[in-house]
Each structure stands twice: as structure tokens, then as C-alpha cells.
Structure 1
Amino acid sequence: MTPDRPEKPLEDDAENGVLADTGSLDTTGLGIMGNTTAQVSVSFPEESADDFSDDDVVDDEVPYAAAADVSRPFVVTIDTAEGEIIDDVDETPAVVDDDVVTVEPVVAAAPARPEPVTRPAAAAVERTTYPVADVALTSKRLGEFEPDRETADLLTADRLLDPHQVIRPEPEGAWQHFVYSISGRRINLGDGKRAKARKELDRRIAAPLAGGARFVPVLSRKGGVGKTTITTLLGMALADARDDRVIAVDANPDRGTLAERVARPSGKTVRDLVRIHGDVVGFNDLSNIVARDETRLDVVASDSDPRVSEAFSDQDYEDVASIAAHYYSIVLTDTGTGIVHSVMGATLARANELVIVSGLSVDEARLASETLTWLETNGYADAVRGAVVVLNNARPGLPLVKADELEAHFRSRVRAVVRMPYDAHIAAGSAITFRDLQPETRQAARELAATVVEGLRTLAPAA
């Protein structure tokens, strides 16, 4: 036991918040073991709105302790055996024994409190509750921050990088590369005209298409003009330059040959895709049916059995188109010559842009022009104005017709006209390898792809 506390002047006791006379309260020094109590002086800080907890509001009533002057000093008796301190509560115990914790106010500045009661330490202690403070959360705009402070988004490459220190890519072009080499890579004249044109064409073909899949049917009312060839070349040029997926569907009900124009046939047909269309849950299910070219063009072949291929209907095309639209950005459709066939109706209903193929002969040109007329008179006038006509030269040598006159005629009716030159690699009728084509053929195919993409970027996605 510690000796009795010496008496101090009253003014000092009031200042320090310690009672001069503890009355009948028996207090002892803090001990290591046993049920001992200690009397200490506690001064509570001033209360602020941020200290309130909305969990302590009961029935929208603010308890007494919230309205009291919580800055007053208190003498708190601590039960050192239990190691607990009870905060200021509504009911202040006044009797102290081995199982009772006592809290006594020292300064009488607070309003009158309820009569003290004695409560066993094992009983549940009711916590002090406080009112909820409404805190308005606001966000700052860029202009509301301090003028001398900058945010991380202001650290852009254009601001930080020295253009004279940025390493430019190695130039393309014979003269440009020669100067770059003999100067020790210090003089970079940039790409030559041909390289710039090629990269610009790549940029046009690879332009992004926002939204859903786009459908581009390739039409011709006359067989043998190269409709399947144009579909293949267009698909290869698109797939070779774009990062998204491109697929060509052979919707010819009369035994199409689109799959024979790619070097890696899968052996599966559009009939297999129709059969499992309800069970396709991922791209792997589809990749087992399509044939993929080295340019990453996917192809769905038509039925090889003519007795089955005639059964390919508009509903079958809808099933295939719905699956293709889920996994591909551009869907090319190689159509048959029967423009009134039910498959043609389903194809035109989904079309975003039309590609019409015409040969370089009088009758082929007339049939192509009549195809445009039929479309205009059957509700597709807008599609005709945005269409692309391809003048395909499928025979060696100079054409018998005046190509310039033929081009002028179609330009008066459609958005663009592209000429496809003769290529012996295509005329052989075997699989087409895009890199083995003549440079003029690859260039024409890429021009066609860029023209189609530019048209698709101005149109809404297919429904």
C-alpha cells in the first residue's frame, strides 16, 4: 500500500482535476497482481463532429452525454485486475468494491446528471451515443486544385519527351536507307514515297470499326466473273492488315468453291455449322469448322453434295450469320447467282455494304448494271449508292471493252469503282496465296479493302 497522498491547496487541486478528499473511497496504487484499483486523472479532448458515430444514434435521440461538457476532467477508478476502463456512460457508479468500476465527475460545469447507480462489472455496459454529423463529400475538378500543384495526368509523352532525342524507326526506301547507314544512323530522312503510301493504306484498312459486326455480301448475277475470287482477295487483304477477325461465308446454294481458294481447308462445311449452332459456346467450337488462311482469314465452305446444298435456306443463313456476328468484326458473304433465292433475301437484310462484281465484257457489264437496277427497285437504293463495283479482268491481255467508259458508267451509280488486274496465279483456279500474287494484284486488293472499310465506318452496325 502506498502512503496517503499529502494535502495540496484547493486551487491546485481544482486546476489538476484531483479531489482533495476522496471521502470513503479506498484507492490503492497499481499492483502487478490482485484486484487493486488506482485513481488517475483523465482529461477528455473537446468533441468534434468527426468524432460522432452514426452507429450510436438510437431512435433519432441524442443521449445525455452528447449534450454534456465532455471537456471536463474526470477521476476514473480502474479495476487493474480486469484491465478495463469504462468510458463516460449515462449511469455513473458511485459504490466501489472489488467488482465495481467507478467514474466520478470532478468539475461541476456539466448539467445535472442522473442519480448514480451501482452496476456489477460483469453486467453489460451501455455505450455513450452521439448524434450523426452530416459530412458533404465533394470532388475537385482540375481547375479547383492549388495553382502550384499538378496531377499525374499532366505528365504526357508530348510534354516530357524531347523530339530530338526520340529514336525514329529505320527508314524504308533504297536512298533513305543508304543515307541512314553511311551516317551511322544519325541522319534519318524518313520513309520513301512508296513506303509511306503502303503504310497509309495499311492505316486505312486497319481503321477500327466501333459497334457490332459488319456484313458485306459480294454479288453477281452472272457466273464466271470472279465473284468468289474477289471475295477471297478482299478477305485476305482485310485479315492481313487488321487486328480483329474476318470471316468469309460461302452462301452459294449451288455448290460454291470459296473453300477451295484457301490453302488450308478444314473438311467441314456450312451444314456442320448449322447443325451445331445452338451448341457453340466459345470460339474454339467455331474454329474446328472454319478453314484459316495464312493471312488469318477464316472461311466457311458450302456443302459439297449438291443434293444437300439445295437445302441451305434463309433460316440456315441466319443461324450462321448470328454466330459469325458474335465472333467476327467483318463477315463477307459469297452469294450465288440467284438473286431471288431465299438466301439472297436474308443476305441483303443484314448487308451493311454491297460489293458488285462485273467482268470486262458487254454482257457481264450489262448484268452488273441490271443488278444495281434490281436492287434500287426492291428497296435497296441507299445500299446501291454506297456500294463498290469491282471491274475484274479474268482474261489475259487487253480487255475488249473500254475500261474507262465502263468505270465512268458505274461511278455514276455507286460510291466507288475498283479495277482488279489479271493474275495468272488466280487464273490457275487453285488455292490463292496472298504473298505470291503479282504486286499490282495485291495493291488492287488492298485498295478494295481500304475502300470497303471507309464505307463501313460511315454506316451503322448490322442489327
Structure 2
Amino acid sequence: MTAKNNADPEDSPLGVLDDAASVDTAGIGILGGTAQVRVTLPAEEDDDLADDGVVDGEVGIDLVVDDVTLPAAPKPVLDAPRLDDVIDAVVVEEPVVEDSVPEEPVPAAEPAADLLAEEEAAARFLAKAGADRAQVPAAKPARAPQAPVQKETTMPEADDKPVASAPARPAPRTDVTLTAKRLGELGESARESADLLTSDRLLDPHRVAKPEPEGGWSHLLYTLSGRRLNIGDGRRARERKELTARIAAPLAGGARFVPVLSRKGGVGKTTVTALLGMALADAREDRVIAVDANPDRGTLADRVQRAQHGKSVRDLVRIRDDVRGFHDISAIVARDATRLDVLASDADPRVAEAFSDDDYRDVADVAAHYYSLVLTDTGTGIVHSVMSATLDLADQIVIVSGLSVDEARLASETLTWLESNGYAQQARDAIVVLNQSTPGTPLVRLGELQAHFASRARSVVRVPYDPQIAAGGTIVFANLLPETRKAARELAALLVEGLRAKAA
């Protein structure tokens, strides 16, 4: 580097920049009152110097020293700091718009430690030169590098100066804490029981194979197509399955008691009790029991498969305090093919009358612990001792009538007696069964008979004549006529629907 002057550098009285040494050992000599130094440096790729002080790759710095008096001496070469340090101490910064009023001032960054050291080196240089006054442009603190921020642009008012908006402050970070509720913290309305996890709810119907269709034409088409064409069940099969679903509907709560009443013997009260119990037990998953509470030697156990042990309702009364589980009950009852349990009446006529109201309540209390439905085959007399407990525990009543004038009249009088003795609601919710016990066409008009009982009770069901039932032997539910089984199942469906309606 060379200090430029109008004369030859060696004869110039102003000063010389020694180029014999490197830049690290370069010095400046000041001989006169004013010295000008022009330094030419290579251009740097710095964006901070692009706006001010750089012209065609050069940075110009003028040092002006006035009224400097030095003693006569040969050209001294002062031990000065590096010229790069002095030049770097002068930092050019972008002009600041003074009219800008930020909403929130951003604190300026503190000068770096190495920048302060460079300023002190420049001061020592002037002191060694012996200057009385030195005017050196003050170095401005270097800007701290900042991340680029987005600025909001606001439209100035008519009389206001443009105001630069402050940089947008980042929103405070909010940490989202994920918490899991325990089962006890859930509301009662949001908790589901296990019985809601049904196959219809969980299984995809498009991926579940359809069962083999039932019905003549449906099954024939399914077979001829090599089990590829399944058009579903036939009409009769669909009706049968819908009836089964009605019978198998769940019953919430405890055991339900259903007495079967009749004021006249021989109308089929015991037969209807057996048919109703078989239809319920065949379709439902819970336990069903039929209790023979007839004090005059009932025949309910004779209508189902008899057990060889000969136990009766009297034995259950005797061990009621020692029953510890269902196996104690199963040793006394008789069970048929439909899973209907039957508790027979006492076969000894000498002690049959001793079966009292308290005895029935003891039997009902034990049966309620192990069965969902308890059917009771009552005696022919409404006013006998067992009838009071039977009606007090009744949830639904079934009244049986024959297809004759006197039998129908006695059945209607039974409804009247119930209405007059505090059981009016049970009478209105009752189901009347018109049982045909003789073959052929009945002499009475069935339409008129059904219309009469429909005006007094909730439902009326007609059970047709069946030779197996008329024979008086054991009833096998699967061997009954289709019309008889359908009538028994319809009676069971109406009974379950009535019990569910009362519980709702």
C-alpha cells in the first residue's frame, strides 16, 4: 500500500507509508500539519457495506489531523496497531429513519468485546502521534444479527407521518397437556354396559357370511347355485325368527311372576301353563320355571317329562333355608327338552291342603333368586289360601277360557272379581287365552268372543285343538302342530312385551 501525494513519495514533506514491510508492520508518519491517507482495499462480500462507503470495490477513509507540531526528526516510523484494525473500527451502518416510532422499542445489542479493543487501539495510535486534538469519526456499535421478522404495514392518516410498525412478537407457546380420564371420572350417561357390545353393532354386515337360508324355494335355489346365490329366508322363516326375537327380548330387573287363572276346571289351564313355559324356555337364554300351586293335586308335572326322584313343592319348602346354589334346586325340579323347569305339586292328597299362603311365598322367594320368569298354575278356586299370595306377587296375569258359553262367562266374571278386589290394573293388562279342547268347529262365534274379551283385557290369543294335547299325556313341544306352536309363541311374545312395557 502507498500513501499518494502530488510529489514523489521520498521527497514529500507530508508523509510516507512504508511499503517495505507487510501490512502487519506498516506505519504512518506525519511530518506536516495535515496528512491525508487513502487506503485501497479489496471488495468484500458483505451486505452491511453495500449501501454506504463502497464504490467500485473500494473503501475510502480520510484521516485529517490539524495543527500537529512535532520536533525535528527524521521520518519516524511509529509502532502503530495494524491498519486493518483501524479501518475495521469504522463501521458503516444503514441510516435510521428518525421519524419511525416503533410500538415497542427493541433494545440495542451491546458492543462486542473485540470492537472495544479496536477502539482502544485507535486511541493509542493517536496518543503516540502526539496530537493535541484529534478528530476521528466515532465508531458506531455493530448491529447484532437478527432473525428476519415480518413487519406490519399500516396506512398513515392524512396529516400523520408514516410510522413503521414494530416487528410482530411471536405468540407465547402453550404446551397442551394430554390427560386420560379414569373410568370413575366419566359421567354415568357416557358409560356403557357389556350387553351393548352385540354382534349387530360390532361386526361389518358386508363381511359376515349370511347363514343358510330357510324356506323351500330359498334353500332350493341356494343348493342349485352351489351355495353362491343366497336370497335370504322365506316368508314363514322370517316370521318365525321375528317372533323368536320378540320372545327373547331382555327383561331388566328381578324375577317376574305370572299366574295362570281359571274359575272352572277342565278348560286347559294346566295345558296353557305348560305351553307358555315351553315357548319361553325354548326362545330365551335365561331360566324359566313353572310352579304347580294347585292345592287339589295338580297335574302340571304330568304334562312334561317326569323326573324319577318324585320331589315336589313340599320338598322345596322343607329345604328353603339350606339352599346354597342352583344345584340344590335342580335336584327337585323336572326339566323337559325346552329347558323348562317344573316344580310339581304334592302328590299325597292327605297333605295337599296344607300348602298355604306362607308356603307359596317361601317357594317364590327361593325361585326368585335363580329364575327370571316364574309361572304359577293356580287352583280353580279364586278364594283359596294360595290365591292371595299369587295375586300379590303377580306382574302379569293370564286368564284361560274354554269355547263354550258357561266357560266364557266364568272367565269374564274372573276379570270382574279382579277389578272389584283391588286388581283392576292387572285385569286391564291381562291376556285372555281361548283354548279349544275339542276337535271340529266350535259352536260359539269366535269373533264375538274375541271382541268381548278385547274390550276388557289387553290381548286375546286363541289356541287351536291339538291331538297330542287332547290325549292328556306328556307334551313334546317340537311334536305339536305348527299352528299350536305358533299360538304358544305368540302368547309368550305378548307376555314379554307386556312385562317390558310395565318396566319402562
TM-score in same-fold range (> 0.5): yes
Counterparts of residues 295-334 of structure 1 (less than 5 Å)? 295-334=338-377
Query: Corresponding residue for 1:115?
Result: none
Please name the residue that 1:246 is paired with: 288
| Distance change (3 Å), C-alpha of 1:137 and 1:300 | same
Deviations 1:247-278 (CA, angstroms, capped at 9, x unpaired): 00000111111111112334111111111111
1:94-133 → structure 2 map (5 Å cutoff) = none
Out of 223, 230, 242, the position equivalent to 2:272 is 230
Unpaired runs of 5+ residues, structure 2, are 1-176, 184-196
Aligned to 1:429: 472
Which AA in structure 2 matches 1:216?
Answer: V
Would you tell me which structure has more strand in proportion to its own residues?
1
**2:460 counterpart (404, 411, 417):** 417
Count of residue pairs the alignment pairs up = 314
- Rate the CA distance shift 1:397–1:277 in 2: closer, same or farther, 3 A: same
CA 1:158–1:450 in 2, change beyond 3 Å: closer, same or farther?
A: closer
2:299 equivalent in structure 1: 257
How far apart, CA to CA, are the structure 2 residues paired with 1:387 and 1:414?
A: 5
Q: Mark the CA change 1:160 to 1:210 in structure 2 (over 3 Å): closer, same or farther.
A: closer
What is the identity percentage for the equivalent residue pairs of Structure 1 and Structure 2? Answer: 73
Q: What's the C-alpha RMSD, in Å, of the aligned pairs? A: 2.3
Q: Give the number of the structure with larger relative contact order, counting CA–CA contacts within 8 Å between residues 6 or more apart.
A: 1
Structure 1: state its 5+ residue gaps: 1-134, 142-154
Q: 2 CA distance for matches of 1:336 and 1:157?
A: 44
Inter-partner Cα distance in structure 2 for 1:156 and 1:227: 38
- Give, in angstroms, the shift of residue 138 of structure 1: 6.2
Deviation at 1:166, TM superposition (A): 3.1
Alignment of 1:204 with 2:204, yes or no, is no
Per-residue CA deviations over 1:14-53 (Å, capped at 9, x if unaligned) read: xxxxxxxxxxxxxxxxxxxxxxxxxxxxxxxxxxxxxxxx
Secondary structure in 1 matching 2:291:
strand
Q: Is the 8 A contact 1:227 1:357 kept in 2?
A: yes
**Structure 1: distance between partners of 2:286 and 2:494:** 17
Query: How many angstroms apart in 1 are the aligned matches of 2:181 and 2:281?
Result: 46
Decide whether aligned partners of structure 1 residues 170 and 156 sit closer, same or farther in structure 2, where only a CA change above 3 A counts: closer
- Are residue 276 (structure 1) and residue 316 (structure 2) matched? no
Could you say which residue in structure 1 is the equivalent of 2:434?
Answer: 391
Counterpart in the other structure of 1:342: 385
Question: Secondary structure at the residue paired with 2:354?
Answer: coil
Shift of 1:355: 0.1
State the Cα deviation string for residues 253-305 of structure 1 (Å, max 9, x = none). 11111111112334111111111111111001111110111111000111111
Structure 1 residue aligned with 2:483: 440
Equivalent residue number for residue 236 of structure 2: 194
Deviation at 1:165?
A: 4.0
**1:217 — aligned with what?**
259
Distance 1:276 1:174, change over 3 A: same
Q: Could you tell me how far 1:179 is from its partner in structure 2?
A: 1.9
Pair 256,164 (structure 1): closer, same or farther in 2 beyond 3 Å: closer
Pairing partner for 2:422 from 361, 379, 383: 379
Aligned residue identity for 1:198 = R
Structure 2 SS opposite 1:419: strand
Alpha-carbon spacing, 1:319–1:140, altered in 2? closer, same or farther (3 Å) = closer
Separation in 1 of the partners of 2:354 and 2:503?
Answer: 31
Shift of 1:321: 0.3
Deviations 1:149-195 (A, max 9, x none): xxxxxx99999976544311111111111222222222211111000
The secondary structure found in structure 1 opposite 2:461 is: strand
Q: Scaled by the length of structure 2, what TM-score is found?
A: 0.60
2:211 aligns with 169
User: Which range is displaced more, 306-315 or 170-179?
Assistant: 170-179
Matches for 1:359-374 after TM superposition, within 5 Å: 359-374=402-417
Match of 2:119 in 1: none
Amino acid of the structure 2 residue aligned with 1:309: A
Distance 1:159 1:447, change over 3 A: closer
| Other structure's SS at 1:289 match | coil
- Matching residue's letter, 1:404: G
Who is 1:96 aligned against?
Answer: none
TM-aligned CA distance change 1:161 to 1:252, over 3 Å: closer
Please tell me whether the aligned partners of residues 226 and 357 of structure 1 are also in contact (alpha carbons under 8 angstroms). yes
Alpha-carbon distance change, 375 to 163 in structure 1, aligned in 2, over 3 angstroms: closer
Note the alpha carbon deviations across 1:357-382, whole angstroms, 9 max, x for none: 00000000000000000000111111
1:249 to 1:165, Cα distance in 2 relative to 1, 3 A: closer
Q: Which amino acid aligns with 2:462?
A: R
Residue deviations 1:61-83, cap 9 Å, x none? Answer: xxxxxxxxxxxxxxxxxxxxxxx
2:147 corresponds to: none
> Using the alignment, how far apart are the partners of 1:322 and 1:234 within structure 2?
22
* SS of residue paired to 1:458: helix
Contact map agreement 1:352 1:460 (CA 8 A) in 2: no
The aligned counterpart of 2:493 is 450
Aligned pair in 2 of structure 1 residues 159, 420: CA closer, same or farther (>3 Å)? closer
Cα distance between partner residues in 1 of 2:216 and 2:261:
42
Tell me the amino acid that sits aligned with residue 213 of structure 1.
A
Whether contact under 8 Å (1:283, 1:327) holds in the other structure is yes
Larger Rg: 2
1:116-143 Cα shifts (integer Å, max 9, x gaps): xxxxxxxxxxxxxxxxxxx9976399xx
The 3 A distance-change label for structure 1 pair 173 and 157 is closer
1:459 CA displacement: 2.1
Residue in 2 that maps onto 1:103: none
Q: AA paired with 1:420?
A: V
Change (3 A) 1:296 1:362: same
What's 2:330 paired with?
287
Give the 3-state SS of the residue equivalent to 1:310 in structure 2: helix
Within 5 Å, which residues of 2 pair with 1:45-60?
none
Cα distance, 1:239 vs structure 2:
0.6
Structure 1 segment 23-62 matched on structure 2, within 5 A: none
